[in-house]
Amino acid sequence: MRDSAHALPDHPSYADASDASFHQIWTLINDKGAAALHLPQVAHHRLTAAYLPFILADRSRSLVVGQLGQSLDGRIATPSGASRGISGDAALDHLHRIRALVDAVIVGAGTVVADNPRLTTRRIAGRSPARVLIDPNGRSSRQAHWLTSGDVARIVFSDCGDGWPTDVIRIPSPDGDGRFPPAMIIETLGLLGWKKLLVEGGARTVSQFLDAGALHRLHITVAPVILGSGPAGLDLHPIDLLNEARRPRVGLHILGDGNVLYDCDLSAN
Q: Which of 190, 193, 185 is nearest to 209 (CA)?
A: 185
Percentage, residues of the chain above pLDDT 90: 84
Note if the bond before 126 is cis, omega within 30 degrees. Answer: no
pLDDT tens digits, one per residue of 147-187: 987 789 999 999 999 999 999 999 999 999 999 999 999 99
Domain ranges of the chain: 60-265
Domain 60-265 has CATH 3.40.50.12780: no
Torsion angle, alpha carbons of 207, 211, 215, 217, to 10 = 70
DSSP-derived pairing of the beta strands 154-157 and 169-171: parallel
DSSP-derived pairing of the beta strands 196-201 and 217-222: unpaired
- pTM for the whole thing? 0.91
Any bridge partners for residue 70, and if so which?
A: 222
Q: In sequence order, what DSSP letters do the residues of 48-65 get, joined into one string?
A: GGGGHHHHT--TTS-EEE
Please give the Cα distance from 54 to 47 (Å, whole number).
Answer: 13
CA torsion sign, 175 to 180 to 186 to 188?
positive
pLDDT tens digits, one per residue of 85-121: 898 899 999 999 999 999 999 999 999 999 999 999 9
Task: Answer for the pair 63, 218: CB distance below 8 angstroms, yes or no.
Answer: no
